[in-house]
């Protein structure tokens, strides 16, 4: 008989993220091959998990067409060598696709319906630019349900600057610069590389190579560099390429398990799921979405924002993260927030990013036994937010030794 159980994030890996476009490292790589490579890497790292015991595979993509179509969860599972008895599905919640894959599979485990599940996401923005194949219903505009420019994420970021004058361009520039610096520092310390699955690639001439690191990093970025950038979303605006996540290709994948499966297979979970929540806001200011979703998730967990010791917030735009921090009274440079940098430097392959946040939080948990709870949160296109709260299994209550 099925029983309620705890839900654990056992492990997560990802491909290196590449710049989208003809000059990006994945220009000649299929989207489904990216997620297949990540899935193979995940199963190799967790060889004690019987492949035929996986109950489901949920893979998210925002543009579910071409090499991101054909029910990705099922097709990726088959291509990665999982038994044909393992089912799969595709999920779309735009930027929060992989996060939704995790929460959906996690809920199925928590309810006792599944024991083991795989959840992740992929986005090849070079092959599938955001909204390229979309046909928004004309009622959105005709009935004034949504401002047409709400479908342009950069415009929604400019509107956050309008709504909150204290969120200045200088603050956003500094946040963007520090993200680049923090990512490079994490690379220098070897923090990011252990969870990357190298991908064999080829260029337009057929020459082979290996994608082993994130391609879009700019660690030498300065405030002077950022001050001179163009504002593509509005003349004399405040949002620039330096304070926005770049267009990115990449895939992420994670292994989830219930309490009985953890014991049966001798697994060592990296996190325990405490709560999750999604919320809707005005599409015109979609960046504030994580605020109500976080309030809901905290309430469900019986926690306060002060209980959260580590935050992994998706940096779709610097101003979006800053609006979240201001709402909860958190300083722009609070060391709990995106300690190893974020999407402004690493990239944001839309539906894949949620699990990237989880991978980084899990790695930090292992180094921080003094932190009990952490959070992954992100804004979502069309006016949504998503938040998952996690507990650190390494928590001791004792201060960690810091270098």
Which DSSP string do the residues of 174-223 spell out, in sequence order? HHHHHHHHHHHHHHHTTSSGGGB--EEEE-TT--EEEE-S-S---TT--H
Q: Say what the pLDDT of residue 402 is.
A: 52
User: Interior CA angle at 38 toward 254 and 131, to 5°?
Assistant: 90
pLDDT profile of the chain (403 residues), mean per 10 = 94 98 96 98 97 98 95 98 98 98 98 98 96 86 85 93 97 98 98 98 91 96 97 96 98 98 98 98 96 98 98 98 98 98 98 98 98 98 97 88 53
Report how far apart, in Å, the C-alpha atoms of 86 and of each of 10, 148, 267, 360 are. 19, 41, 20, 28
Of 157, 316, 164, which is closest to residue 149 (Cα–Cα)? 157
Catalytic residues: 95, 348, 379
Q: Say what the pLDDT of residue 149 is.
A: 82
Tokens of 290: 């994580």
Taken in order 141, 243, 217, 355, the sign of the CA dihedral is negative
Establish how many alpha carbons lie within 13 A of residue 164's alpha carbon, considering only the half-sphere containing its beta carbon: 21
Q: Is the pTM of this model over 0.85?
A: yes
Checking DSSP bridges between strand 56-60 and strand 116-124, what pairing results, if any? parallel
Write down the residue that tokens 């099922």 correspond to. 74
300 phi, psi to nearest 5 deg: -65, -30
Q: Number of H helices and number of E strands within the chain?
A: 12, 12
Q: Say what the pLDDT of residue 144 is.
A: 86
Q: Say what the pLDDT of residue 401 is.
A: 60
């Amino acid at each position: 008989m099925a029983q309620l159980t705890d839900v654990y994030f056992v492990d997560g890996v990802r491909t290196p993220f590449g710049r989208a476009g003809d000059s990006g490292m994945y220009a000649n790589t299929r989207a489904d091959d990216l997620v297949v490579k990540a899935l193979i890497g995940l199963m190799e790292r967790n060889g004690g998990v019987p492949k035929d015991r996986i109950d489901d595979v949920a893979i998210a993509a925002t543009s579910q067409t071409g090499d991101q179509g054909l029910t990705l969860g099922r097709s990726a599972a088959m291509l990665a060598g999982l038994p044909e008895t393992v089912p799969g599905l595709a999920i779309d919640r735009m930027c929060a696709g992989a996060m939704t894959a995790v929460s959906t599979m996690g809920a199925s485990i928590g309810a006792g319906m599944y024991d083991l599940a795989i959840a992740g996401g992929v986005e090849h923005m070079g092959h599938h630019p955001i909204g390229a194949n979309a046909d928004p219903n004309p009622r959105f505009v005709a009935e004034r349900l949504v401002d047409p420019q709400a479908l342009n994420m950069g415009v929604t970021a400019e509107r956050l600057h309008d709504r909150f004058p204290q969120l200045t361009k200088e603050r956003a520039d500094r946040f963007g610069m520090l993200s680049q610096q923090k990512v490079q520092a994490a690379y220098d310390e070897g923090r990011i590389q252990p969870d990357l699955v190298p991908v064999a690639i080829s260029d337009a001439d057929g020459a082979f190579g290996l994608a082993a690191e994130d391609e879009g990093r700019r660690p030498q970025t300065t405030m002077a560099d950022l001050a001179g950038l163009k504002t593509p979303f509005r003349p004399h605006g405040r949002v620039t390429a330096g304070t926005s996540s770049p267009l990115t290709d990449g895939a992420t994948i994670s292994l989830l398990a219930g309490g009985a499966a953890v014991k049966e297979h001798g697994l060592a979970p990296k996190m325990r799921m405490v709560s999750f929540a999604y919320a809707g806001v005005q599409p015109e200011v979609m960046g504030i979405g994580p605020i109500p979703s976080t309030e809901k998730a905290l309430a469900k967990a019986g926690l306060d924002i002060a209980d959260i010791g580590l935050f992994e917030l998706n940096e779709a735009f610097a101003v979006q993260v800053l609006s979240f921090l201001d709402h909860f009274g958190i300083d722009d440079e609070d060391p709990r927030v995106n300690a190893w940098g974020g999407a402004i430097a690493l990239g944001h392959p839309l539906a894949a990013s949620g699990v990237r946040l989880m991978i980084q939080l899990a790695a930090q948990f292992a180094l921080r036994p003094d932190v009990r709870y952490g959070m992954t949160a992100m804004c979502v296109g069309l006016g949504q937010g998503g938040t998952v709260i996690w507990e650190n299994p390494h928590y001791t209550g004792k201060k960690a030794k810091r270098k």
